[in-house]
Amino acid sequence: MSGGSPARRGLGGLTARIAALALAACVIVGPLLSLVVWSLAERWTYPAAWPQRLGFRYWSRMLTADFLDPLKTGLGIAAVVTVAALLCAVPLGYALARLRFPGRTLVLLAFLLPQAFPQLPVFAAATREFYRWGLAGTITGVVLVHLVGGLVFAVWTMAAVFRAMDPALEEAAHNLGASATRAFVTVSLPLAVPGIVASALLVFLYSLDEFTGTLLVGAPFVTTLPVYMYTASQGYEMQIASVTALVLMAPGVILLLLLERVLRAEYLTFFGQL
């Protein structure tokens, strides 16, 4: 029995795709629209289905120290974590990509372990040690706990970047008399710049949005925007929490668009290979 004319089947397929796109739009755009409405709601009481008064009163709080201090703290911590992670990950990623030594696979897996288990027990165990060392409630402690997760992205990304490079380029430099260090600095490192930028973006976004470790290690003296948003939502300040969430999304969207431009396909080929 015929399944219908090609035109009818084509129309059915088009309808199904439109319905799928509409459903995806509701799932993705719906929560964002809710955040926008809550951020503009100066007065919204039950059982009203729509705010009784809209305005930018809560957006104006972005210009106060109450909001700017967590923003500056979070950006500063993310910058320090990014630099520290790259200083460790670039040479380590090169060694893991180019050298074959006993325990190499275990080293790679060790940097994956923090993401292999639920973050709450990992950070809770780290918090106990940080209190013992006097690092709890300090920016140094928060930077260190962010490095636990940031190094996962940095090391694995840099290992994939250097594995994607043709070793013949370094061999040519060696044949011309360059030492191993000079070949790395003059040949491999410049070629790795797009990968380094991609690794930096991943680490920066991770640190900027990190919440669990920041709350456990930094509270009550170190407050970043995710912690500030959590505190506002716990106090049912939905407008402040919504404004904070939208502000946090902005750098994420911008940096992810930039990441899409610098992350090369050949890096993804080697990402995750032991």
pLDDT one-digit tens code per residue, 126-171: 888 888 898 888 999 999 999 988 998 898 888 888 888 888 888 8
Architecture (CATH level 2) of domain 63-270: Orthogonal Bundle (1.10)
For 42, phi then psi, to 5°, come to -80, -25
State residue 84's pLDDT score: 96
**1: pLDDT strictly greater than 50:** no
- CB atoms inside a 10 Å sphere around CB 107: 14
As annotated, the residues of the chain forming the CATH 1.10.3720.10 domain(s) are 63-270
Going from the C-alpha of 228 to that of each of 215, 234, 238, the distances in angstroms are 10, 10, 12
State residue 79's pLDDT score: 96
Burial class (CB in 10 A: 0-12, 13-18, 19+), 102: exposed
Mean pLDDT score, 10-14: 64
Lowest mean pLDDT among 34-43, 104-113, 162-171: 104-113
State residue 117's pLDDT score: 74
Q: What is the pLDDT of residues 199-219, one digit of tens each?
A: 998 899 999 999 989 999 988
- CB atoms inside a 10 Å sphere around CB 79: 14
DSSP string, 156-216: HHHHHHHHHS-HHHHHHHHHTT--HHHHIIIIIHHHTHHHHHHHHHHHHHHHHH--HHIII
Q: What percent of the chain has pLDDT above 70?
A: 90
Helices (H), 63-138: 65-98, 104-116, 119-133
Which tokens hold the place of 85? 């992670």
Q: What is the rounded distance in angstroms from the CA atom of residue 232 to the CA atom of residue 248?
A: 14
State residue 74's pLDDT score: 93
**271: pLDDT strictly greater than 80:** no
